[in-house]
Each structure stands twice: as structure tokens, then as C-alpha cells.
């Protein structure tokens, strides 16, 4: 008996939730309003069936509940009724499928005036590539990926030389310009999804896929990877910033072409050594750092990582928190360093012999090893970091420095700035540490590497 009432109640709750809830598709920011329309159509049709079937069910259960003086009606089948129901259902299905297929035809056909852009996925970051002057994306293959050629472009393909490489997780796009987003993965499956654009597509290693859309609204939107791509899948986020054509052009000009990246300038180690003298005060003559001055060991770090950190210090991305005095100090120093000769300096630091700073913290090493399982993928089993994944070395680093940085990540002192992609990921990852004891265990393990 109650079941009839409950079913009516559940139908009512479903309707209330549907019409009154604040949770619905995010406001559209692309041309795909037709997809929303198709969803609307499906809603009305399925909603009608849902209400009709369940209310009839509830009424039937109530009306024909057990009564010992009554017998069930005997009717094996009713052809006419069944044919009617089949026909009506078919009409409903056709009414949903037809608009769906019409819209799909539009999804499949990329307009001729679409601008081609490539999105590249790798565990667990996004990078992008524009075709440059010639309007053609050069050939690429995961086989070519190396520290010097992080996008895996074919060096022998002349079309690739002028391709503009965006080694940043934010893609800028001009508003109202159709975009054909070519998708490529260098490692595993990924998926490029922007909820506000409605379309999504997998990135499949070994082949190219695509999707197209026209951004219609200015603003910044999240790019999510929506195909499970390993441990840190949930941290693989990017952004799309939609802006006016001139702003877009200005932004694009700040990025180098493949040819620019390939032609490396010779570095001057002697100049670097001279420049380093101003750093040696805190970081030590051998670059081994100094815990008393809160200066980390630089000898294991790669120049890409250090360059990125200097840039972050300089641009107010790292070291902005007032209570973080070492960070504040470094930010001030970074402001005054000479950007032009930075490459020399970093090359010199990279050339220093690695020095291992012993651990000072004690903890449960075996528990630390378990916790380190979440770090291995990027920082390596030996903690020596992976340049290609933008992960710095941890082994040999001062554990007090690592402790401070992990605390900063978890408190949001570091990695909160939207420009700091890897900081954001570290912020998500450090949340799994949970307690000071576990942090000590982890650091005690890293000290053994």
C-alpha cells in the first residue's frame, strides 16, 4: 500500500529536484546550443514517459491491491494495445534520435574557416601548439620526445619549424572563431573536456583525434582530463581563456616557435660562475644549501625547474605569502636578477657536483615508503626527479626544506596561484599526507633515497 504512495512521492521529488535544483548544465560558452536543445527534447519525452509509467504503476498497485473477494482478470495478451504502445514508443524514440543525428552531423563536419590548434596530453599536464605562419601543424611522434624536444615534433618536417609551442597549461582562444582542436597524446589515453563547451574527445596515443567548437563567451574555463590516465588523473587540469582577437594575438606572440626552441644559445659557464657568487652567500659555494638560512640544496635540481621557480618568484606566483619569510626573501632577490644571463647561471648550477644533504628528521621509514608510492610516478623511485614531467629531484635535498615546502603546499602558501600548474597539482597531492607524523615518515624515507 505504502509503495504506491512512495512511488508518487518519488516522482514528485524527482520533478521538484529537476525544476528547483541549482544543479544543471554549466552556462554554455560555445556554439553548441543545439546539444542543449537535444537534451531538452529528450527531457520532455523521457520525463513524460517516466511520469506516465510510474503514476500508472502506482495507481495500479493501489487500485488492484489484494482483495480476497476478487480475482485477477485473465488476459494472456492484447495485441492491439501492444501494437499501440510499440508504435507510440517508436515515435518517441524517433523524436529523440532525429535531432540527435542532425546535430551529430554538425559535430562531425568541421567548418572550413576553423582555426587549427593542437592540444597535447601527457601524464599529467596539458600543452598546446599553434601551426604558425604556414598554417600547417608539423608532423609529430612520441618517438621524438626528449628533454630537448618535449612536444615530440619531427625535426625533419619543415612544416614544424614555425609551429608555436605553448608550454603552459592555459590555452588562449579568440572569441567567435571556430576552432578545430587536434588532439594528440604522447603516453596514455586522455580526454580534453571543457564542460562549458559541451564537446569532449579522447586523446589516443598513436593517432590523432579532433573536436571543434566556437567559443562564444569571453572568460576562463577549466579543461579537465576525463579519461582515466593513471594515478594523478584528477590533477590533470588546464584552462582555456577566451578573449578578443587582439588580446589573443598579443598573447600568442609571447611564445617561441619550434625553431626558436631548437636553436639553443651557447651558455657561458664562466659568466654563470661569476653570477653565482651572489647566490653562494645563502646556497653555499658548492650549491649545497644551508638549513640555518633556509636555503635549499641546488645541486640536484635541473635548470628548467630552477628557471620556472625564478620566474614564479619574479612574477608574484611563489613567495607571496607574508609569513613565508624565506620565500619573501627569494622573491625579492629574484626581482633583481638579470633575466638575460639567467641561462648561464642555471647552467653553472647544473654543472655543480651533486651534494647529498643528510636527513635530520626521524620517522617510520616503512610507512614513509608506503606514502611515497603516490610520489614515485613523477619524482621517480630513486627520488631523482623527471625533467620531462617537470618534477624536481627530491633525493639529497634538505629535508627541512622539503618539509617546509610540503607544508606550504598543503596550507596554500605555495601552488595557489592559477599560473602555477604543478604547484596546484602538488597542493592536491599533499592533501593525502594528512598529519605531521605521516609527513615526517615520508621525509624520513626520502632521506634514505
Interface of this chain with another protein, residues 363 to 382, rule: CB under 8 A: 371, 373-374, 376-378
- Of 295 and 426, nearer to another protein (C-beta) is 426
State the nearest-atom distance from the C-beta of 76 to another protein, in Å: 4
Residue pair 125/236 in contact (Cβ under 8 Å)? The answer is yes
State the nearest-atom distance from the C-beta of 147 to another protein, in Å: 9
State the nearest-atom distance from the C-beta of 427 to another protein, in Å: 8
Q: What is the DSSP string of 110-151?
A: --TTPEEEEEEEETTEEEEEE-TTTT-PPPB-GGG--SS-TT
State the nearest-atom distance from the C-beta of 434 to another protein, in Å: 4
State the nearest-atom distance from the C-beta of 159 to another protein, in Å: 20
Geometric angle at alpha carbon 109, from 94 and 182, rounded to 5°: 125
Rounded Cα–Cα distance for residues 180 and 201 (Å): 12
Residue pair 416/427 in contact (Cβ under 8 Å)? The answer is yes
State the nearest-atom distance from the C-beta of 293 to another protein, in Å: 32
Which triple of cell numbers denotes residue 120?
Answer: 597535447
- 61 interacts with another protein by CB under 8 A: yes
Q: How far is CA 82 from each of CA 54, 75, 77, 85, 89, rounded to the nearest angstrom?
A: 18, 13, 8, 5, 10
What count of other Cβ atoms lies within 10 Å of the Cβ of residue 63?
A: 8
* Positions 214 through 243 that interact with another protein (CB under 8 A): 220-222, 224-235, 237
- Of 204 and 282, nearer to another protein (C-beta) is 204
* Positions 403 through 432 that interact with another protein (CB under 8 A): 424, 427-429, 431-432
Which range, of 265-273, 317-325, 385-393, 395-403, touches another protein by CB under 8 A? 385-393
Kindly tell me which residue out of 13, 259, 285, 293 binds another protein, with binding defined by CB under 8 A: 13
- 31 interacts with another protein by CB under 8 A: no
- 321 interacts with another protein by CB under 8 A: no
Rounded Cα–Cα distance for residues 388 and 402 (Å): 21
- 65 interacts with another protein by CB under 8 A: yes
State the nearest-atom distance from the C-beta of 215 to another protein, in Å: 15
Residue pair 348/426 in contact (Cβ under 8 Å)? The answer is no
- Of 90 and 244, nearer to another protein (C-beta) is 90
- 34 interacts with another protein by CB under 8 A: yes
- 64 interacts with another protein by CB under 8 A: yes
CA 98, distance to chain mean position in Å, is: 35
Rounded Cα–Cα distance for residues 420 and 57 (Å): 56
* Positions 141 through 200 that interact with another protein (CB under 8 A): 141-143, 145, 152, 183, 185-189, 191, 193, 195-196, 198-200
Kindly tell me which residue out of 274, 386, 395, 419 binds another protein, with binding defined by CB under 8 A: 386
- Of 152 and 178, nearer to another protein (C-beta) is 152
> Which of 42, 19, 147 has its CA nearest to residue 97?
42
State the nearest-atom distance from the C-beta of 277 to another protein, in Å: 33
Own/partner contacts of 321-330, CB < 8 Å, gap of 24 or more, are 321/408, 321/413, 321/414, 323/413, 324/408, 324/413, 324/414, 325/294, 326/294, 326/295, 326/404, 327/408, 327/413, 327/414
State the nearest-atom distance from the C-beta of 446 to another protein, in Å: 17
State the nearest-atom distance from the C-beta of 339 to another protein, in Å: 28
* Positions 73 through 102 that interact with another protein (CB under 8 A): 73-78, 81-82, 85-86, 89-90, 93, 96-97, 100-101
Geometric angle at alpha carbon 361, from 356 and 367, rounded to 5°: 100
Site size for another protein (CB under 8 A) = 122
Q: For the chain, how big is the Rg over CA atoms in Å? A: 29
Kindly tell me which residue out of 12, 44, 56, 316 binds another protein, with binding defined by CB under 8 A: 56
- Of 168 and 417, nearer to another protein (C-beta) is 417
Phi, psi of 85 (to 5 degrees): -65, -40
Amino acid at each position: 500500500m505504502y509503495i504506491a504512495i512512495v512511488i508518487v512521492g518519488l516522482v514528485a521529488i524527482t520533478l521538484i529536484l529537476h525544476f528547483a535544483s541549482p544543479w544543471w548544465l554549466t552556462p554554455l560558452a560555445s556554439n553548441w546550443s543545439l546539444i542543449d536543445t537535444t537534451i531538452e527534447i529528450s527531457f520532455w519525452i523521457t520525463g513524460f514517459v517516466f511520469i506516465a509509467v510510474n503514476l500508472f504503476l502506482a495507481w495500479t498497485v493501489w487500485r488492484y491491491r489484494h482483495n480476497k473477494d476478487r480475482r485477477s482478470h485473465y488476459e494472456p495478451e492484447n495485441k492491439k494495445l501492444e501494437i499501440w504502445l510499440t508504435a507510440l514508443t517508436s515515435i518517441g524514440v524517433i523524436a529523440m534520435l532525429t535531432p540527435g543525428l542532425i546535430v551529430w552531423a554538425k559535430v562531425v563536419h568541421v567548418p572550413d574557416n576553423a582555426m587549427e590548434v593542437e592540444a597535447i596530453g601527457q601524464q599529467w599536464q596539458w600543452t598546446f601548439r599553434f601551426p604558425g605562419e604556414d598554417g600547417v601543424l608539423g608532423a609529430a611522434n612520441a618517438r621524438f620526445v626528449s628533454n630537448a624536444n618535449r612536444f615530440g615534433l619531427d625535426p625533419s618536417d619543415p612544416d614544424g619549424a614555425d609551429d608555436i609551442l605553448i608550454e603552459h597549461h592555459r590555452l588562449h582562444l579568440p572569441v567567435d572563431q571556430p576552432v578545430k582542436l587536434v588532439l594528440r597524446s604522447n603516453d596514455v589515453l586522455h580526454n580534453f573536456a571543457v564542460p562549458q563547451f559541451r564537446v569532449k574527445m579522447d586523446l589516443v596515443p598513436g593517432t590523432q583525434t579532433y573536436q571543434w567548437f566556437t567559443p562564444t563567451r569571453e572568460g576562463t574555463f577549466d579543461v579537465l582530463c576525463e579519461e582515466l590516465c593513471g594515478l594523478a588523473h584528477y590533477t590533470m587540469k588546464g584552462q582555456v581563456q577566451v578573449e578578443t582577437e587582439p588580446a589573443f594575438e598579443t598573447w600568442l606572440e609571447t611564445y617561441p616557435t619550434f625553431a626558436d626552441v631548437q636553436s639553443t644559445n651557447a651558455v657561458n659557464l664562466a659568466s654563470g660562475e661569476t653570477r653565482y657568487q651572489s647566490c653562494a652567500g645563502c646556497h653555499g659555494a658548492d650549491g649545497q644549501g644551508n638549513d640555518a638560512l633556509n636555503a635549499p640544496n641546488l645541486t640536484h635540481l635541473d635548470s628548467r625547474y630552477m628557471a620556472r621557480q625564478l620566474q614564479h618568484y619574479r612574477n608574484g606566483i611563489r613567495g607571496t605569502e607574508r609569513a613565508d619569510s624565506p620565500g619573501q626573501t627569494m622573491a625579492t632577490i629574484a626581482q633583481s636578477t638579470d633575466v638575460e644571463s639567467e641561462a648561464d647561471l642555471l647552467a653553472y648550477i647544473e654543472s655543480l657536483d651533486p651534494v647529498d644533504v643528510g636527513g635530520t628528521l626521524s620517522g617510520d621509514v616503512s610507512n614513509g615508503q608506503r606514502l611515497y608510492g603516490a610520489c614515485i610516478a613523477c619524482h621517480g623511485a630513486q627520488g631523482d626527479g623527471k625533467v620531462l614531467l617537470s618534477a624536481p629531484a627530491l633525493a639529497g635535498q634538505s629535508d627541512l626544506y622539503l618539509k617546509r615546502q610540503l607544508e606550504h603546499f598543503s596550507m596554500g602558501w605555495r601552488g595557489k596561484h592559477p599560473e602555477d600548474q604543478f604547484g596546484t597539482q602538488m597542493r592536491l597531492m599533499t592533501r593525502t599526507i594528512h598529519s605531521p607524523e605521516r609527513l615526517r615518515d615520508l621525509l624520513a624515507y626520502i632521506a634514505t633515497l
